Chains A and B, each alone.
Chain A
Amino acid sequence: MVKTIIDAHNISKIYDKKMVPIMALQDVHLHIEEGEFVALVGPSGSGKSTLLNMIGGLDDPTNGSVIVDGVEITKLRENKLIDFRLRNIGFVFQSFNLIPVLTAKENIGFVLQLQNVSKKEREKRVMELLHQVGLEDKENSKPGELSGGQQQRVAVARALASKPKIILADEPTANLDTKAAENLLDIMAKLNKEEKITFLFSTHDARVIKKARRVITLVDGKVDSDVQQIPD
């Protein structure tokens, strides 16, 4: 039986900007099963990033609830939520967002260190992940010494470090050239297929949309369409 990994009910988010309420999300229902490879698409300002933030517990919805792997994260206290995120959700951001003072190896190991994983185990896992994203030879390079695509691959490896059930990626290919974007998508698709990790990513990129098996379209903070497709 397929397990529900993300269950969002009636999510609304209203931002109060200069006393003018802006409805970023309106009664969004979302149901994602374990191992899905989902693209969240829509025009700018449609609420893609806001929805990802709600699912990732980075922001609170004004109304509604988010249940991730059976845990209602909208009810968790801050420290519990951080811990839950650390163990269950991996993030890949649009602008790479690596720690600039740490090497690729240290950036990936950082998440494991937060989980108090032993040094030996950590090193083993980091090398595995670097191998998975094809950056074994860049282990001691700092983000400034890596290309955009390489940085994003390190970010994916970091997101995978704690063996999360879900990876949330906000416009992961937005700053990458075609080759780097395709390379990253291949890695993500391979991880999804082989390790059954659920991927939910927001994107404008047609190349990414083609790789998804399910495409959810948001318009003005509402789910406009939700279709299954055969990926390229």
Chain B
Amino acid sequence: MLLQISWRNIWRNKTRSFVVICSIIIGLWAGIFILAFAWGLYQNNIDDTVYRQLSHIQIHNPLFTKENESKYTISNSDEILQKLQSNKNVASVSSRVITLGMISSPTNASGIKIFGINPLVEKTQIVLNENVRQGAYFETGKENEILIGEKLAKKLKIKLKSKVVLTFTNIDNEIITAAFRVGGLYRSKNISLDEVNVYVQKNELVNLLGLQDSESNEIAILLKNEEQLDSMKIFSSSLVPKGKVEDWKTLSPELGMVIESFNLYTYIITGIILLALTFGIVNTMLMSVLERFRELGMLMAIGLNKSKIFVMILLETLYLTLMGCPIGLLIGWLSVNFFEKHGINISMFSEGLAAYGFSSIIYTSLDNQKYMIVAIMYFITALLSAIYPAYKALQLNPSEAIRKI
């Protein structure tokens, strides 16, 4: 009976019900889309960090991470590489030599981090070759070739094929100066790193530092599946018992901070949408209650108790929500799926975002569980919003309500 009356009541003012349903649809869609956009942004950022910078796991000599001196190496890195490569969970593994130094051009100088890499391996490891914008990726075969970021080149006022001088200390703490020729300029999605990281061939840097061929400062492991992260960390620790084995989350705490702050913004925006939805529903349902004061008074007079009046008002909101939520979910799901395939181009903001390591094309992403969480949140908010109007209905004195015009 109450179900029937409530259902018919919502169609007494079709426009008003339509507006409430639309506000639920738009609110739910907006909530889903903002979450999907934020998750897409984080995922993109995480993928960039893992697949283009850090890899899933890195192994260092513990003193290297503390002192940042290249003399602290993993001594038998070739043997460890072989063992890791033979593991079925490993997609790619590379060893690097790293030192801090200075790069100088005829007009300027800058502090840098020099990576000695195996160019062939890094093509699959951090796909550095795909970031090359000018020149080539170690294709001349010359040992003194260097790959630097476009931003650093601009700062040093140098071009492709310009000569630069690297200065750093070797393992015996002697100052080493070596001339390199710029073979390529790269641009990654993380502009701040582009200004610092330079890449040379590992053999050349090993020789200049005075290290053994089998030594390296860093072993980076890219996994086939991130779910294997914990087990592979254990496996890696067993290979290098004295090494420091860290995953990307530990290596890049700033990424966690960025994600955390974006999460906060996401919650704030979702909260604002929910608040707007709440006000919309409270306003509409209150209007609906106030204009039916006399009718509600009559219902009380003929025997409908207050709890049933309360339930009736809640049912009306429930119906509107039940109509709005599935449509909002469907539109949200469709739009998330569309932009998951085609991406959203935010290039007009990309320079600013790139400073935080974000890409200019965001692919939305949201798992099924989050759809349900958002839908349940909106559902509960909508029902809670109806409590105040329903409570107002309970304040009625039937004899006064009946007399109202």
Interface residues of chain A, those whose CB is within 8 Å of chain B, are 49, 53, 56, 58-59, 78-79, 82-83, 85-86, 91, 93, 95, 97, 99-102, 106, 110-111, 113-115, 158, 162
Contact = CB atoms under 8 A, between A and B. Distances in A.
A113 B1 contact: yes
A79 B400 CA distance: 18
Nearest to A115: B303
Interface size class of B (residues with CB under 8 A): 20 to 34
Given A58-B402, A59-B397, A113-B1, A99 B299 contact: yes
A97 B303 contact: no
A49 B299 CA distance: 18
A186 B305 CA distance: 32
B204 to A, nearest CB: 85
Most-contacted residue by chain B among A102, A106, A114, A162 (CB, 10 A):
A114
Contacts of B5: 99, 101-102
A91 B302 contact: yes
Nearest to B1: A113
Contacts of A114: 1, 302-304
A78 B301 CA distance: 11
B302 A100 contact: no
A59 B301 CA distance: 10
B340 interface: no
Interface of B: 1, 4-5, 8-9, 11-12, 294-295, 298-306, 397-400, 402-403
Contacts of B303: 82-83, 85-86, 111, 114-115, 162
A78 B306 contact: yes
A214 to B, nearest CB: 24
30 contacts: A58-B301, A58-B398, A58-B402, A59-B398, A59-B399, A78-B306, A82-B303, A82-B304, A82-B305, A83-B303, A85-B303, A86-B302, A91-B301, A91-B302, A93-B298, A93-B301, A97-B295, A97-B402, A99-B5, A99-B295, A100-B12, A101-B5, A101-B9, A101-B11, A106-B4, A110-B302, A113-B1, A114-B302, A114-B304, A158-B302
